Amino acid sequence: MLTDFLSLTNLIILAASFITFWLPEVRRKFSLAILQTLFFLPLLVVEYLAVALDFIPNPEGFTLLLASQSLFLVIWSNVGRRLLDAMSVGRSSFISTVGLMHALIVVLILVVTVFQILVPGFEIGQDGISFSSFSPIYFASVISLLVMLFTAWQLEAFWRQLPKNRRREYGLLVVGSALVCAVQGGVASYRLTYLEWDEDVLFLQAAFLLISWALLTLTVLRHRLLNRNLFISRKVVYAFVAPSIFAVYFIILGLISIVIRFFGYSIEWVLFWFLLGMGAVAVAILAVSQPIRQRLKFFISTHFYVNKYEFKDEWFAFSALLKNAHTETKVLEALRQVLVDSLYTEDIWIWAGSDTKGLRLVLPHDVSGWQLDVLADKDPIIRYIRQKPRLYLEEGPMDEDRVEIRALLDSLDPPKPVLFAPLAVGGQLVGCIGLGREYTGGRYGRDDFDLLAALGSQAASALLAVRLTEETARLREQRALHNLSVFLIHDIKNAASILSLIHANAQTHMDNPEFRKDMLIAIGDTLQRMNKVRINLGMLRDQVKTVWRDVSLCLFLDELLVGFTRRLTGLDIIVDCPEGIALRTDPQLLETAIENLLLNAYEANEGGGKVLITALSANDVITISIVNNGPAIPGHLLPDRLFQPFVSEKPGGSGIGLWQARLILQNLGATISADNPTTGGARFLIHFPLANSSPAPVDPASEL
């Protein structure tokens, strides 16, 4: 079972070589090869010891070693090849030649490995194995020697080309790699010379390879080479920690068992499984304990990586949370979530406001009556972060402002902030972040300051965008309310004009029964007009409810003529409409639009005049022409300016009627234009496409 486990592990580590096809940079490929070596060397040491101590019986043990040795040659030859690539940038033909040679070596290694497994070609002796010349093991030893010489040559060239100021950084890496070449090359020479491989050599190999692994690992940890050439996400490393510890614990337990059995002792069954269970419990505690995992995360970030944070991941995480943040509170909650996940402190405060009106504590919500609940614009903290990128009380000289702030914070009960970072963009302060001490016992440094600056500017931009959106919405509401009042006044003015005409004529014609009858009808029509105010209110809320009906245009215009003749006494209206013109529209809205045009003509003629309404259907368009004999339209108002809101040259005119008429007609799918006919007066043309359907409502606010 142990043999199967070790063989499977060998294959998994070898399979990682295929990742190189997706890595874009040569240096990252070289670093991946080094990383594979760091994983494979201790596994090879365990196999050497297991076979030397007879924990894995022969011939199964040496067969496993021969296969593992060949797999290690593939990985180690890849180290030499990638190192050569890194030093030969720009020499594409040379790199291609070396790549072809490396591929040939790998093929030879794999072929010899298959022959070693199918045709072992060795004899088991008392202390090891022996083999004959030109056997598969013999050729494998030759290839092993060539690979080690090739890699040693590349290491020497790499060392010579290294700048002197960087040799200290890579010194142990070169020494450890050279030791691997020397040990494996020496053992290959030994096998070729004596045609044997005994247990003493296995012990020697295991010891030196363990030293090599320690030197390589120390270099990676000491100089934090994981994110120099090969970038490995912290998330991958964090997720790998618990199973790695579990695996190391099992390996150590297995090695202890091997040593005890070698000396003739045995481990009681109960004790073995107790130790195994305790290891599982310890790993479970590690998996569920947030403080322990956070401290482990801190150790990995500060010892394996140059930077304390993966700034790209934090930026993307914050950007993802901001997608659904449409209010200031949501933006600040997203910021706090990213800070909690990234930083090594649980004490986080966030203020928001402005540098002129002061800042108010927004998060956490459960703080009330705190002395720092509000930071006024003249507060020493605000004064300081307006001028400096941060306020960290545990660094820098204690000037007058810092002494004042220190005294203020000392009066607070713990926890209390020791670091303040502004939320600012473009010199505009919109908030502030406060952080308590790290629970790791460490101090804030450059990486923390850079992270706070990046997230702070991003959060400030998001806050300003939210505020701008809210201000725009508020202005739109105010503008809609303004439009509402204008339209309401205009409709009331129209109704008042009709009632005023009735009142003026009533003094003369009240005794006439026909006049009284017409007066009651006109008053009823005016009351209906007042009901239309509700329709206009709906239109201003972008909620126009259009009731589409098939209308006989001539009948509609005739009914319109009768109604307006009663209301607009003195205005002579003539309708010229051929029979058979059908129109799909909302008759109530169309009547309102034409009423605005007729009232406009009536007022322009000072209570009189003539209006000719004609209808025509041609070229798939129905045209309604309204021509009055009043004053011509001023040229500077044509062709479209007179339809804009608040544009009017009539005495007492509001400039709303024609604008309202155009909005109504647009909602009906029609267009309106105006001109001055050569015969005099003014003309308005309404065009309805015959393929008319219910169009999208028009936003009156967009016309302002």
Residue range 170-186: mean pLDDT, rounded:
85
Non-local (6+) Cβ contacts of 273 within 8 A are none
Say how far apart CA 621 and CA 2 lie, in whole Å. Answer: 89
**pLDDT tens figures, 589-635:** 898 899 888 888 888 887 778 999 999 998 889 999 999 998 898 88
- Residue 196 is predicted with a pLDDT of 85
Most confident of 36-50, 382-396, 424-438, 556-570: 424-438
User: What is the distance between the terminal CA atoms of the chain, rounded to a whole angstrom?
Assistant: 82
Residue 104 CB neighbour total at 10 angstroms: 10
Correct CATH for 2-232 of 1.10.3470, 1.10.1760, 1.10.443, 1.20.1070: 1.20.1070
The residue among 59, 56, 101, 63 whose CA lies nearest residue 80 is 101
**pLDDT tens figures, 676-693:** 998 889 999 999 988 654
**pLDDT tens figures, 15-44:** 665 665 555 555 666 667 777 788 888 888
Residue range 657-669: mean pLDDT, rounded:
87
Q: Are the C-beta atoms of 116 and 67 separated by less than 8 Å?
A: yes
Residue 106 CB neighbour total at 10 angstroms: 18
- Residue 333 is predicted with a pLDDT of 92
Contacts of 384-387 with C-beta under 8 Å, sequence gap 24+, read 384/420, 385/420, 385/421, 385/422, 385/424, 385/429, 385/432, 386/355, 386/422, 386/429
Cα–Cα separations (whole angstroms), residue 633 to 636, 644, 680, 684:
9, 14, 10, 10
Q: What percent of the chain has pLDDT over 70?
A: 70
- Residue 96 is predicted with a pLDDT of 55
Question: Is pLDDT larger for residue 34 or for residue 180?
Answer: 180
Residues found in the chain: 704
Q: Which CATH class is domain 325-471?
A: alpha beta
**pLDDT tens figures, 131-170:** 788 787 888 888 888 888 878 877 777 777 777 777 777 7
- Residue 563 is predicted with a pLDDT of 79
The residue among 286, 655, 257 whose CA lies nearest residue 493 is 655
Residue 494 CB neighbour total at 10 angstroms: 22
Q: Which band of pLDDT confidence, cut at 50, 70 and 90, is reported for residue 696?
A: very low
Q: Which residues sit opposite 610 in a β-bridge? A: 572
- Residue 625 is predicted with a pLDDT of 95
The residue among 648, 629, 622 whose CA lies nearest residue 637 is 648
Residue range 186-211: mean pLDDT, rounded:
86
Q: Are the C-beta atoms of 292 and 299 separated by less than 8 Å?
A: no
Q: Which band of pLDDT confidence, cut at 50, 70 and 90, is reported for residue 670?
A: very high
Say how far apart CA 367 and CA 363 lie, in whole Å. Answer: 8
Q: Are the C-beta atoms of 694 and 546 separated by less than 8 Å?
A: yes
Q: Are the C-beta atoms of 67 and 117 separated by less than 8 Å?
A: yes
Q: Are the C-beta atoms of 633 and 676 separated by less than 8 Å?
A: yes
Q: Are the C-beta atoms of 593 and 582 separated by less than 8 Å?
A: no
Residue range 659-670: mean pLDDT, rounded:
88
Question: Is pLDDT larger for residue 300 or for residue 641?
Answer: 641
Domain boundaries, the chain: 2-232, 233-306, 325-471, 542-703
Q: Strands 348-354, 428-435: parallel, antiparallel or unpaired by DSSP? A: antiparallel
- Residue 258 is predicted with a pLDDT of 62
SS (H, E, C) 107-166: HHHHHHHHHHHHCCCEEECCCEEEECCCCHHHHHHHHHHHHHHHHHHHHHHHHHHCCHHH
Say how far apart CA 419 and CA 434 lie, in whole Å. Answer: 6
Residue 47 CB neighbour total at 10 angstroms: 26
DSSP string, 65-100: HHHHHHHHHHHHHHHHHHHHHHH-TT-HHHHHHHHH
Asked if pLDDT for residue 68 goes beyond 90, the answer is no
**pLDDT tens figures, 262-277:** 666 666 666 666 776 7
**Count of alpha carbons within 13 angstroms of residue 438, beta-carbon side:** 15
Question: Is the bond into 645 cis (omega within 30 degrees of 0)?
Answer: no
Kindly report the average pLDDT of the chain as a whole number.
77
Residue range 303-326: mean pLDDT, rounded:
80
Cα–Cα separations (whole angstroms), residue 423 to 27, 57, 331, 350, 376:
38, 67, 12, 9, 16
Place of tokens 């614990």: 249
Asked if pLDDT for residue 420 goes beyond 90, the answer is yes
- Residue 674 is predicted with a pLDDT of 92
Question: Is pLDDT larger for residue 245 or for residue 599?
Answer: 599
Asked if pLDDT for residue 446 goes beyond 60, the answer is yes
**pLDDT tens figures, 349-374:** 999 988 777 888 888 876 666 778 88
Asked if pLDDT for residue 699 goes beyond 50, the answer is no
- Residue 73 is predicted with a pLDDT of 81
Residue 239 CB neighbour total at 10 angstroms: 11
Q: Which band of pLDDT confidence, cut at 50, 70 and 90, is reported for residue 332?
A: very high
Residue 324: DSSP 8-state: T
Cα–Cα separations (whole angstroms), residue 681 to 338, 593, 630, 654, 670:
70, 20, 5, 21, 23
Q: Which band of pLDDT confidence, cut at 50, 70 and 90, is reported for residue 556?
A: very high
Asked if pLDDT for residue 439 goes beyond 90, the answer is no
Q: Is the dihedral of CA 664, 667, 668, 669 positive or negative?
A: positive
Q: Which band of pLDDT confidence, cut at 50, 70 and 90, is reported for residue 93?
A: very low
- Residue 316 is predicted with a pLDDT of 85
Asked if pLDDT for residue 346 goes beyond 60, the answer is yes
For 542-703, CATH number? 3.30.565.10
